[in-house]
């Protein structure tokens, strides 16, 4: 955990659209001590002043790979000891939220703008696990979560 | 230059073939396609299977028009760069994706963003035949994005 006024943030997003959306939201934590986690080292180009940790890309259809990602994400959380975990998806982000919660971090999930008809499976799981769970489509908000609090578009 | 992209994960031969056929018919020699694992490479337009992140960004910047699968990452990049973009959604019933979320995405995209949608080769040709009618896509000042950022900022610092 950090000692001065600023919080330690772990911001997690798989490469591609999820990462794009996280970049659109970075002003929300730009002035904090933020470590990024993604599935492709190229994304470091977008965050030249921050540390980027790379984990294996995987999803629930690839259980062996997912096990690897799980171990890597756990390592990130234990090493960085964030105060806050924020993720725009996908599976690695949900894992970071689960582990973040275990160490007492505040956690928030932002479901992808691509999920316009239905919240993702990870998003539905996040409603139960994350401190806050958001959808970017107002018509998908439900009492008990996810909430609608704006969108990147 | 017209830049065609199917994304980094799945092939999208229908889009590649449609653009190839259009370019051949119009003798348009400035088309470049990122085709992924396509079954058969296009016969007329220039192509490459995959691009690095920087190559992709470079092509997006250079493009006068982007023709793409309805992937959110590509759409967001086009909005960010203010590009003219036509997207074709992958369809589950054609075996192009395991669900129809690209179709759902394009149905829900606010019209004011200016992203054009072509559901098939015919609609794509119609869009490409009238490039002067294609707007530069943009998310504008987006009050909803400011709202979400403000919410997250409060959450993070409270």
pLDDT digits (tens, 9 = 90+) for A121-147: 999 999 999 999 999 999 999 999 999
> Inter-chain contact A152–B110, Cβ cutoff 8 Å?
no
Q: Which residues of chain B are within 8 Å of residue A28 when distances are taken between CB atoms?
A: 148-153, 156
The closest alpha carbon to B120, from B132, B104, B103, B105, belongs to B103
Predicted pLDDT of residue A4: 55
CB of B140 less than 8 A from some CB of A: no
Predicted pLDDT of residue B105: 86
Contact B34, B51 (CB under 8 A): yes
> Scanning every residue of chain B, which has its alpha carbon at the shortest distance from the alpha carbon of A132?
B155
> Scanning every residue of chain A, which has its alpha carbon at the shortest distance from the alpha carbon of B115?
A153
Predicted pLDDT of residue A5: 67
> Scanning every residue of chain A, which has its alpha carbon at the shortest distance from the alpha carbon of B146?
A150
Mutate to test the interface with A, among B75, B137, B144 (most CBs of A within 10 A): B144
In tens, the pLDDT along B6-21 reads: 998 899 999 999 999 9
Q: Which residues of chain B are within 8 Å of residue A108 when distances are taken between CB atoms?
A: 152, 155
State the pLDDT confidence band at A110, using cuts at 50, 70 and 90: very high
* Alpha-carbon distances, residue B113 vs A7, A8, B82, B134 (angstroms): 35, 35, 10, 12
């Amino acid at each position: 955990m950090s000692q001065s006024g600023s919080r330690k943030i772990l911001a997690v997003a798989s490469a591609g659209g999820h990462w794009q959306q996280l970049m659109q939201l970075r002003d929300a934590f730009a002035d904090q001590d933020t470590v990024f986690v993604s599935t492709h080292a190229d994304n470091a180009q977008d965050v030249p002043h921050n540390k980027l940790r790379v984990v294996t890309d995987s999803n629930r259809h690839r259980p062996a790979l997912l096990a690897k990602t799980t171990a890597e994400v756990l390592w990130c959380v234990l090493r960085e000891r964030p105060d806050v975990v924020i993720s725009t998806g996908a599976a690695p982000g949900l894992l970071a939220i689960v582990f973040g919660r275990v160490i007492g971090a505040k956690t928030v999930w932002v479901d992808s703008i691509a999920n316009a008809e239905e919240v993702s499976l990870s998003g539905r799981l996040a409603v139960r696990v994350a401190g806050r769970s958001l959808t970017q489509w107002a018509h998908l908000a439900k009492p008990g979560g996810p909430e609608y609090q704006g969108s990147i578009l | 230059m017209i830049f065609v992209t199917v994304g980094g994960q799945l092939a999208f031969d229908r889009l590649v073939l449609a653009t190839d056929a259009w370019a051949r018919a119009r003798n348009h020699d400035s088309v470049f396609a990122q085709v992924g694992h396509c079954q058969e490479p296009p016969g007329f337009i220039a192509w490459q299977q995959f691009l690095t992140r920087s190559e992709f960004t470079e092509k997006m910047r250079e493009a006068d028009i982007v023709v793409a699968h309805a992937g959110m990452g590509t759409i967001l990049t086009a909005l960010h760069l203010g590009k003219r973009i036509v997207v074709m959604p992958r369809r589950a019933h054609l075996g192009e994706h395991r669900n129809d979320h690209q179709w759902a995405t394009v149905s829900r995209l606010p019209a004011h963003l200016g992203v054009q949608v072509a559901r098939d080769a015919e609609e794509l040709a119609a869009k490409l035949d009238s490039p002067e009618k294609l707007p530069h896509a943009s998310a504008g000042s987006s009050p909803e994005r400011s709202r979400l950022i403000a919410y997250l900022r409060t959450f993070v610092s409270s």
